[in-house]
Amino acid sequence: MVGKVRKNKSELPPVRLLLLSSRRRCVFSSEFAFTPTTALVSYVPKKNKNVLLMSTKHTAAAEVCESRRDRKLTIILDYNCNKGGVDNLDKVIGTYSCRRMMARWPLVVFYNMIDVSSYNAFVIWRETHPEWLPQKLNKRRVFMEQLGKALVTPLIERRTRLRLLSETFGPRPKLAIGDDSVGAPVPLVRGEKMMPPTPKFKLPLP
C-alpha cells in the first residue's frame, strides 16, 4: 500500500512536528519515520511545501533516485505511477452506481463495496471470456443487468415458494391472549396491557 497522508491526522507519530514542518528545509529534501511494517516520508517539492506519503511496501531504508535532479524517492515514483488507478476506478464506478444520498456511513461503505465488487467482476469476466459480445460497446451495462438479475432471481423464487405454501396451507392462525390452548405466552405489543383470561362461567350476582 502506497498513498498520501493528510497532515491533520492524529495517528501520525510523535515526530510529526518534524515531518509536517517545511520551513528551514531545503528543497528536494526528505524526512523519514519508520515502524516494523510502515514507512512515512515527508518530501519537500518546493519551498515551504511538503508532501506526506505512507508505504507498507518500502519499509527498509529509502532509496533515492540519484539520476534525477529533484531527488525523488522510490516511494514517490511508485505512487506517481499507480495513482491514476484510483481516480479511474472512481470514474468508472460513478457511471453505474447503486449509491444513495444518506447519512449512515455503514451503508455508504456497503454501497461502495458493491460498486467496486461489481466492476472487479466485470473485469475478470471480460478477461476470461474475450469472445463475449465482441461487437457491443455497452458490455458493462449488459453485464450489470445480467448480474443484477442473477443475484435477485433466487430471492424471487424463494418468495414465490413461500407464497404458494401460504396459499396451500392458509394463513398462520392468530393466537388470542388468555386462550387455554396456548402453551407459551404471546409477546405483547408495545403499549398493550395484559388482560385477565375470560372466565368460563359467570358468577352469580349478589
pLDDT in tens, 15-40: 666 677 777 788 888 888 888 888 88
Cell of 175: 393466537
Of the pLDDT bands very low, low, confident and very high (cuts 50, 70, 90), residue 182 is: very low
Residues 116-150 as b/e (b if ≥16 CB within 10 A, e otherwise) read: eebbeebeeeeeeeeeeeeeeeeebeebbeeeeee
Q: CB–CB of 19/12 below 8 Å?
A: yes
Q: CB–CB of 80/3 below 8 Å?
A: no
Q: Evaluate if residue 188 carries a pLDDT over 90.
A: no
Of residues 2 and 128, more confidently modeled: 128
pLDDT in tens, 78-87: 888 888 887 8
| This prediction's pTM | 0.54
Of the pLDDT bands very low, low, confident and very high (cuts 50, 70, 90), residue 66 is: low
* Predicted pLDDT at 147: 93
* Predicted pLDDT at 86: 79
Instruction: Give SS3 for 139.
Output: helix
Q: Evaluate if residue 77 carries a pLDDT over 80.
A: yes
DSSP character string of 2-47: EEE--TT-TTS-TTHHHHH--TT--TT-EEEEE-SS-EEEEEEEET
* Predicted pLDDT at 79: 84
Sheet containing 2-4, strands listed edge to edge, beginning at the edge strand earlier in sequence: 2-4, 49-55, 39-46, 30-34
Of the pLDDT bands very low, low, confident and very high (cuts 50, 70, 90), residue 170 is: low
The region of weakest confidence among 99-103, 131-135, 173-177 is: 173-177
pLDDT in tens, 152-165: 999 998 888 887 77
Q: Which range scores top for mean pLDDT: 68-72, 131-135, 159-163?
A: 131-135
* Predicted pLDDT at 191: 54
Query: 46 has which bridge partners?
Result: 49
Query: 122 has which bridge partners?
Result: none
